[in-house]
């Protein structure tokens, strides 16, 4: 049956997890803050408020609420669902499920339905607030139904794709990383490859891209917000959207149901095979072990590398190919022949790629320590004579080293667009320095969450939420507040925004921009100083508190005390056998 023992067990265990309650409270606070910002924007100017003003602000709040709800589903859905099957496989408890009379459909659909309800609870938190605010008018019933239809269908699609990826993943952090990579490619590749004056594609590729646009939730939500003012693939966009996403969801659920047992049994029973590309590895790239074994392990050991799999590598190549195609088409277009146009494009594209890369690196760092706890190798690390400085710096260095290809990719975006600018080397050095500081912050945030969490999924949740909110997500719900009042306040509040910091060295530091908006330069300087101080503070604090957080200080202290008072303690306290 569908709602069997797996569903009941998942619902009971998820109801006891405090992080889900915390997530709902934070989501409700964001909606209330968005509501307060809309009200502050309405009452700031001190004039008499008309009914039309109230309806306009209500409509503005509704569309902001719709975007926040959709982004919440896209951000939280993979983290909640992708680890279901992968966690069972990593703990080797899925074999107990296979030994029961449960069928594949009961296992997959039970876990999927339970996690879908957990995501639905998050969406339902904002319904009372929206119901109260809708009494003011300005929210058409049709728009309300369309928004919730898009959100619900997207929620089912994200959950279905995530659980399908989880079936083919052996570790939960790998499943979550693959799910987010697929989601990023699904959302942004069709948008980047949209045919236009800058880009012309073959007809078959245009048809495929048009279908992907028709099921893209970001494209559809933008269409609803703008009243379908720009063309959407198909004559009935909502119908095509719902049918397309339903078809993809059913395919993913069917694949997961058919393969959940075969994939695990084949992987656990097959002997370890040497990958073909390992025979072509260059031994010169691997330094000798030396006096830092932990550092060597994090840099070169394959066990520490996130396993994307064949599908994950294809998604990465697809993302890189889409960005490269758009860059080539833009730089070769006549409309972008001017230096200024290339400058703004390189700054915007570099900021977008840098933000996505930082989120992925932060997610990777979230499994640095928690992943070893799950695989029961962390106790062996703590039992070695390695100091806290060696372990922590090795974890930081391993995640920083993993971002080397991201830096190379960013250079391919920045160099062609900025090489004709005055002070090119200075701008490039400033961009690299900015990205380095933000990269250290992302690694520190993920490592800290990993140190204090028992599993990689527990570490991944707060890491992504904090990185997204502090790095610029706060601006989405705080725009009405920041731009009510004086302009310098709104500009200074840009300081923590990571997209702005990655964009500023290429554009904001021009002489013309400085003369017009000097506060933007102040915001950049304040942001860089703040992130530098916070990043260094996380590094030094992680080293200083490592033994205490991991419980190693008490063991070392008690062992040293026992050695000092060993003979006396033995004479004063007879053995238990003698006391008896």
pLDDT band of 339, cuts 50, 70, 90: low
Average pLDDT, the chain: 78
33-70 tens-digit pLDDT: 777 777 766 665 555 666 676 777 777 778 888 888 88
Q: 135-139, 201-205, 296-300: lowest mean pLDDT where? A: 135-139
- At 92 the pLDDT is 82
Q: Could you give the CA distance from residue 117 to residue 107 in angstroms, rounded to a whole number?
A: 16
Q: Are 200 and 152 in contact (CB under 8 A)?
A: no
For every residue of 90-115, DSSP letters joined together read: HHT-HHHHHHSS--HHHHHHHHHHHH
Q: Could you give the CA distance from residue 307 to residue 294 in angstroms, rounded to a whole number?
A: 20
Q: Which of 265, 216, 217, 293 has its CA nearest to residue 97? A: 265
Identify the top-confidence range among 12-26, 278-292, 438-452: 438-452
Q: 141-150, 321-330, 522-531: lowest mean pLDDT where? A: 321-330
C-alpha neighbours within 13 Å on the C-beta side of residue 533: 7
Is residue 241 helix, strand or coil?
Answer: helix
pLDDT band of 170, cuts 50, 70, 90: confident
84-122 tens-digit pLDDT: 888 888 888 888 888 888 888 888 999 999 999 988 988
Does residue 6 register a pLDDT over 60?
A: yes
- Percent of the chain exceeding pLDDT 70 equals 76
Q: 50-64, 221-235, 401-415, 565-579: lowest mean pLDDT where? A: 565-579
In eight-state DSSP terms, residue 278 is G
Q: Which of 414, 426, 404 has its CA nearest to residue 346? A: 414
- At 290 the pLDDT is 63
Q: Could you give the CA distance from residue 256 to residue 441 in angstroms, rounded to a whole number?
A: 37
Is residue 333 helix, strand or coil?
Answer: coil
Q: 79-88, 386-395, 476-485: lowest mean pLDDT where? A: 476-485
- Percent of the chain exceeding pLDDT 90 equals 11
Instruction: List, in order, residues 6 or more apart from 28 with CB less than 8 Å away.
Output: 125, 126, 129
Angle between helices 172-192 and 141-167 in degrees, nearest 10:
130
Q: Which of 178, 212, 182 has its CA nearest to residue 194? A: 212
Q: 143-157, 282-296, 355-369: lowest mean pLDDT where? A: 282-296
- At 469 the pLDDT is 78
Q: Which of 491, 500, 496 has its CA nearest to residue 520? A: 491
Number of H helices, E strands in the chain: 30, 0
- At 234 the pLDDT is 44
Q: Are 356 and 184 in contact (CB under 8 A)?
A: yes
Q: Are 192 and 326 in contact (CB under 8 A)?
A: yes
pTM over 0.85: no
In eight-state DSSP terms, residue 302 is G
Query: What is the mean predicted confidence (pLDDT) over 310-330?
Result: 78
Does residue 579 register a pLDDT over 50?
A: no
Does residue 161 register a pLDDT over 80?
A: yes
- At 157 the pLDDT is 94
235-290 tens-digit pLDDT: 578 888 889 999 999 999 999 999 888 887 777 665 555 554 444 343 445 556 66
Neighbours of 337 (CB within 10 A): 10
Query: What is the mean predicted confidence (pLDDT) over 484-496?
Result: 60
In eight-state DSSP terms, residue 469 is I
Between 190 and 41, name the one with better pLDDT: 190
542-561 tens-digit pLDDT: 898 888 888 875 545 454 54
Query: What is the mean predicted confidence (pLDDT) over 416-429?
Result: 81
Does residue 304 register a pLDDT over 70?
A: no
Q: Which of 457, 442, 225, 266 has its CA nearest to residue 355? A: 442
Q: Are 381 and 372 in contact (CB under 8 A)?
A: yes
- At 255 the pLDDT is 92
- At 23 the pLDDT is 82
pLDDT band of 232, cuts 50, 70, 90: very low
Is residue 48 helix, strand or coil?
Answer: coil
Does residue 313 register a pLDDT over 50?
A: yes
pLDDT band of 432, cuts 50, 70, 90: very high
Task: Name all contacts of 259-264 with Cβ < 8 Å and 24+ positions apart.
Answer: 259/167, 259/168, 260/85, 260/104, 260/107, 260/108, 260/167, 261/98, 261/104, 263/167, 263/168, 264/89, 264/94, 264/95, 264/98
Does residue 160 register a pLDDT over 90?
A: yes
Q: Which of 436, 437, 450, 435 has its CA nearest to residue 365? A: 450
375-412 tens-digit pLDDT: 778 888 888 888 888 888 989 988 898 888 899 999 98
Query: What is the mean predicted confidence (pLDDT) over 322-343?
Result: 72
- At 145 the pLDDT is 85
Q: In angstroms, how far is the first alpha carbon of the chain from the final one?
A: 58
Q: 388-392, 490-494, 574-578: lowest mean pLDDT where? A: 574-578
Q: Could you give the CA distance from residue 391 to residue 397 in angstroms, rounded to a whole number?
A: 10
In eight-state DSSP terms, residue 122 is H
pLDDT band of 478, cuts 50, 70, 90: low
């Amino acid at each position: 049956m569908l709602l069997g023992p797996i569903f009941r067990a998942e619902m009971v265990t998820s109801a006891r997890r405090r992080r889900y309650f915390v997530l709902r409270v934070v989501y409700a606070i964001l909606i209330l803050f968005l509501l307060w910002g809309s009200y502050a924007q309405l009452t700031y100017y001190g004039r008499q408020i008309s009914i039309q003003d109230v309806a306009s602000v209500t409509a503005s709040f509704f569309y902001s609420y719709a975007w926040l709800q959709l982004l919440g589903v896209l951000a939280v859905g993979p983290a909640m669902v992708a680890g279901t099957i992968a966690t069972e496989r990593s703990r080797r408890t899925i074999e107990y499920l296979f030994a029961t009379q449960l069928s594949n459909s009961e296992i997959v659909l039970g876990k999927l339905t339970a996690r879908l309800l957990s995501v639905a609870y998050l969406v339902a938190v904002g319904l009372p607030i929206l119901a109260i605010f809708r009494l003011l008018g300005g929210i058409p019933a049709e728009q309300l139904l369309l928004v919730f239809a898009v959100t619900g269908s997207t929620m089912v699609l994200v959950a279905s794709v995530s659980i399908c990826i989880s079936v083919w993943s052996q570790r939960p952090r790998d499943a979550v990383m693959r799910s987010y990579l697929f989601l990023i490619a699904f959302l942004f590749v069709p948008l980047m490859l949209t045919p236009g004056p800058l880009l012309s594609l073959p007809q078959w590729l245009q048809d495929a891209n048009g279908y992907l646009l028709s099921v893209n939730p970001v494209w559809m939500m933008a269409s609803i917000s703008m009243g379908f003012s720009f063309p959407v693939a198909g004559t009935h966009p909502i119908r095509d959207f719902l049918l397309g996403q339903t078809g993809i969801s059913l395919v993913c659920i069917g694949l997961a149901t058919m393969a959940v047992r075969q994939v695990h049994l084949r992987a656990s029973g097959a002997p370890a095979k040497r990958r073909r590309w390992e025979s072509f590895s260059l031994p010169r790239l691997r330094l000798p072990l030396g006096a830092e074994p932990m550092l060597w392990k994090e840099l070169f050991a394959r066990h520490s590398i996130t396993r994307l799999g064949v599908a994950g590598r294809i998604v990465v190549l697809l993302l890189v190919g889409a960005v490269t195609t758009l860059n080539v088409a833009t730089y070769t277009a006549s409309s972008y022949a001017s230096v200024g146009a290339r400058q703004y494009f390189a700054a915007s594209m570099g900021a977008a790629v840098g933000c996505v890369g930082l989120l992925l690196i932060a997610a990777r760092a979230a499994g640095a320590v928690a992943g070893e706890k799950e695989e029961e190798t962390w106790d062996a690390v703590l039992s070695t004579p390695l100091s806290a400085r060696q372990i922590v710096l090795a974890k930081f260095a391993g995640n920083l080293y993993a971002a080397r290809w991201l830096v190379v990719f960013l250079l391919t975006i920045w160099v062609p667009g900025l090489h004709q600018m005055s002070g090119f080397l200075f701008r490039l050095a400033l961009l690299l320095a900015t990205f380095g500081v933000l990269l250290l912050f992302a690694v520190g945030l993920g490592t800290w969450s990993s140190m204090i969490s028992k599993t990689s999924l527990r570490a991944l949740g707060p890491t992504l939420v904090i990185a997204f909110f502090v790095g610029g997500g706060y601006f989405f719900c705080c725009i009405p507040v920041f731009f009510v009042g004086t302009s310098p306040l709104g500009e200074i509040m840009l300081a923590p925004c990571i997209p702005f910091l990655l964009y500023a060295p290429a554009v904001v530091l021009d002489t013309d921009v400085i003369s017009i908006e000097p506060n933007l330069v102040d915001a950049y300087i304040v942001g860089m100083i703040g992130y530098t101080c916070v990043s260094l503070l996380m590094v030094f604090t992680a080293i200083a508190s490592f033994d205490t957080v991991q419980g190693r200080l008490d063991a070392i202290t008690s062992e040293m005390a026992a050695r000092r008072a060993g003979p006396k303690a033995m004479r004063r306290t007879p053995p238990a056998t003698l006391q008896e």
